[in-house]
Chain A
Amino acid sequence: MTTNMSRHLLLVEDNEVNREMLQRRLQRVGYTLDCAADGQEALDKMRDVKPALVLLDINLPVKDGWTVAKEARSDSDIQDIPIIALTAHAMESDRQQALASGCRDYATKPIDFPELVIKIENLLTA
């Protein structure tokens, strides 16, 4: 199976139900995915797989999303991979914190799927 790396995403989500759901929906619209369930795994897979984009949940075990985003930015190998933060925190301060820690965009749960796809496409074609 050949993988078009320009449409290969890394989905970081520790909640199994939500991870499976997003994975299936994204595969259905034509993306290939790797998944990670905690922050450290996310960073490891970013370095190994070099995905085109990362969907990063913020409430993560081991290392939370903010830490992952900051560490990714300071690593020259993976600092250019765009990150979209996914969180159930819906306050304006959360959005600002996401952007400040290096995420390129931000999506609030419950996820508006068509809008998420638009955000992904915007970043992939930028």
Chain B
Amino acid sequence: MKLSQTSLSLRARLYLFSMAILTLFVVNVATHLWGSFARSESLVAYRDAAVAAQLVNDLQQGLESARQQTLVLATLRETTDEPLGDAERETATAELDTLRQRLGKLGALGGESTEDYYRRLFDSGSQLLDEWQAFYNNYNRLSSQSSVESPIQYNDTWQKLNELEQRQEALAIERSRTIDGTITLTDQITVIGFITTIAVTMLLVILLIRSTNSSLLRLKTGVQRFGSGDLSYRIDENRDAGEIQDLARTFNDMSGKLSTAIEEVNSSKADADAANAAKSMFLANVSHELRTPLNAIIGYSEMLQDELGDPGEVNREQVQHDLGTIIISGRQLLGLINEILDLSKIETGKMQINLESFQPAAHILQVCDALSPLLSQHKNTLELNLVGAEGHTMHSDPGKLQQIVTNLFSNACKFTDNGTIVVAAEISQDQLTLTVTDDGIGMTVEQQGRVFDTFVQAEATTGTKYGGTGLGLSIVKDFCAMLGGEISLTSTPDAGSCFTVTLPTIGPASNPEAA
């Protein structure tokens, strides 16, 4: 397929096709015109030949008749001496003029190839006619001697005339032969050209259809493959040129953009699905965490109601203990709800930072005092070391600092029995360093890696053993980040844990979206 290999544009193919057909058409018309010209040439040649033959014939007859007349008159003059009348002489002169005119006409018909013959005829004929004219002019002058009876000049003219006629005849035959050959040739060229035109046109049509068809087929294949989900399929742009190449290129561009868009949509969908799954997980966890204290609250309340309805003494001590359990569970529930609200605010970026100047040592002390009842639950003692922070002022969010201390302190109390909790704080180089250390159950390295995740405790069973939701440390970590600081952890199983919080004394200038 020559056309498709040279990869012409569709327009170029159509132009080429049209030009080829037009050229063939022009060739056909030219050969036809050539043939027509040859035919008209042939007609002219035949007509000229016929006219010449007629003139030669007339001239022969005229010469013969004038010769007879001069011979008769010459005989009469010798025998009768009768003079020639003026009228008769004029008639004879007119006849001679006619002969002269015919001789001239014959000259006008001849071309270069008969010029020599004509010149000889004209010279001889003119001499003969001059002799005859002289004969008539001198007829009445008896003294004059006439030579008209001599046939020499007449025969010479006659011979020259015959030579010219033969020459013309030969030329006419030769010319007609040439013209006939030309006509045959042009006829053949016309027929061959016509057949060739049909063949070449059909060949071009087939080539055009096949090359265009294969181009369109490539486009169609591309559209089908892409449409059926093969997003990486591209059309070979270099197999075509011009409009079809442009179309292929445009299609490839479109395919590229579409597959990028589809990938983006898929990726967004995966992200949305993951976010949705996380949300469902969060809801399930929240539901689970709320139900656990509610179970105790509802269960103990119903039980007390039932037991108070029983006959007999009321065990006041038992009732007081049960009510205490209900109150603790209720507070646990409240704390849980607050933590969930905090977490929700952090996650939606609505947690505000309230910056103010305050003395961190005083706030830390206040929290430890408020939480001192927790110490006695597990028989722990508190060691406070706030000397390094006393007298210093920082500009940050005191509420969040208190929440951080509360969560770390209550965690330490929860996971330590008969131990010592050390809360220490110091300020140096515009940075508050707060450590909460216990000598409780501690954590393995693997557990340390996940305690800051939402709803995750060191062990899945920690909650059932020690209570809590797994939100406290997650919130601490988020608060630290919001205040421009960070939290780190060192821990050894069965030896205790140490949480270290570092916060800049000058908090974030603006209220950043929670990360």
Q: Known contacts A89-B288, A90-B287, A108-B291: does B296 contact A21 (CB below 8 Å)?
A: yes
Chain B residues whose CB sits within 8 angstroms of the CB of A108 once the complex forms: 291
Q: Which residue of A lies closest to B307 (CB)?
A: A28
Q: Which of B39-47, B51-59, B297-305, B489-497 contacts A (4 or more CB under 8 A)?
A: B297-305
Q: How many A-B residue pairs have CB under 8 A?
A: 67
Whole-angstrom distance between the alpha carbons of A7 and B305 in the complex? 24
What is the 8 Å Cβ interface bit string for chain B, positions 269-309, against chain A (1 contact, 0 not)?
00000000000000010011101101111111011001100
CB distance from A112 to the nearest CB of B (A): 9
Q: Known contacts A89-B288, A113-B302: does B295 contact A59 (CB below 8 Å)?
A: no
Whether A24 pairs with B291 at a CB distance below 8 angstroms is no
Whether A111 pairs with B288 at a CB distance below 8 angstroms is no
Range of interface residues on chain B?
20 to 34
CB distance from B101 to the nearest CB of A (A): 134
Q: Which residue of A lies closest to B283 (CB)?
A: A91
Whole-angstrom distance between the alpha carbons of A25 and B284 in the complex? 28
Q: Which residue of A lies closest to B288 (CB)?
A: A88
Whether B464 pairs with A15 at a CB distance below 8 angstroms is yes
What is the 8 Å Cβ interface bit string for chain B, positions 168-190, against chain A (1 contact, 0 not)?
00000000000000000000000
Q: Known contacts A59-B464, A61-B464: does B288 contact A113 (CB below 8 Å)?
A: no
Query: Which parts of A1-53 form the interface with B (CB within 8 Å)?
Result: 14-15, 17-18, 21-22, 24-25, 28
Whether B299 pairs with A22 at a CB distance below 8 angstroms is yes
Whole-angstrom distance between the alpha carbons of A36 and B325 in the complex? 21
Q: Which residue among B295, B297, B461, B463 has the maximum number of chain A CB atoms within 10 Å of its CB? A: B295
CB distance from A103 to the nearest CB of B (A): 18
Chain B residues whose CB sits within 8 angstroms of the CB of A21 once the complex forms: 296, 299-300, 303, 325
Q: Known contacts A28-B307, A91-B284: does B299 contact A59 (CB below 8 Å)?
A: no
CB distance from A99 to the nearest CB of B (A): 18
Answer yes or no: B31 CB below 8 A from chain A CBs: no
What is the 8 Å Cβ interface bit string for chain A, positions 112-124, against chain B (1 contact, 0 not)?
0100000000000
CB distance from A10 to the nearest CB of B (A): 18
Whether A89 pairs with B299 at a CB distance below 8 angstroms is no
Which one of B295, B307, B461, B463 lies within 8 Å of A109 (CB-CB)? Answer: B295
Chain B residues whose CB sits within 8 angstroms of the CB of A24 once the complex forms: 303
Answer yes or no: B465 CB below 8 A from chain A CBs: yes
Chain B residues whose CB sits within 8 angstroms of the CB of A88 once the complex forms: 287-289, 291-292, 295
Q: Which residue of A lies closest to B329 (CB)?
A: A17
A-B contact pairs, 17 of them (CB 8 A): A14-B465, A21-B299, A22-B299, A25-B303, A25-B306, A28-B306, A60-B461, A88-B289, A88-B292, A89-B287, A89-B288, A90-B291, A110-B291, A110-B294, A110-B295, A110-B298, A111-B298
Other contacts beyond A60-B461, A61-B464: 10, CB < 8 A: A14-B461, A17-B296, A18-B292, A18-B299, A21-B303, A28-B303, A59-B463, A88-B287, A108-B291, A110-B298
> Residues of A with Cβ closer than 8 Å to B?
14-15, 17-18, 21-22, 24-25, 28, 59-61, 88-91, 108-111, 113
